[in-house]
């Protein structure tokens, strides 16, 4: 997901970095919320569903960490 500003101004990687940070924060919040829901879930099935969602959010957060690192490296090459 690239911001339109980042797409229009590829020489400004900071714009993409802001988006990456926001997405990473969103996934961290989602993971935390789903882990809390898993603990409070009334059934084992609901617990498993929330744990899967939390795991997915954690995976996406890690991928966004990799994206942020790539953006920093690209900015350093300029």
In order of 11, 23, 28, 32, the CA distances from 20 in angstroms are 16, 5, 12, 18
Count other C-beta atoms under 10 Å from residue 24's C-beta: 18
Over 80: is that where the pLDDT of 27 sits?
yes
Q: Which tens digits make up the pLDDT trace of 30-77?
A: 999 999 999 999 999 999 999 999 999 999 999 999 999 998 888 887
Contacting residues for 67 by C-beta, under 8 A, at least 6 apart: 20
| Distance spanning both ends of the chain, measured CA to CA | 22
Does residue 15 carry a pLDDT above 60?
no
């Amino acid at each position: 997901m690239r911001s339109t500003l980042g797409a229009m101004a590829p020489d400004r990687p900071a714009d993409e970095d802001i988006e990456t940070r926001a997405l990473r924060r969103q996934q961290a919040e989602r993971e935390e919320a789903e882990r809390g829901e898993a603990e409070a879930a009334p059934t084992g099935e609901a617990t498993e569903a929330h744990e899967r969602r939390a795991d997915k959010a954690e995976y996406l957060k890690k991928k966004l960490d990799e994206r942020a690192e790539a953006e920093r490296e690209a900015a350093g090459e300029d």
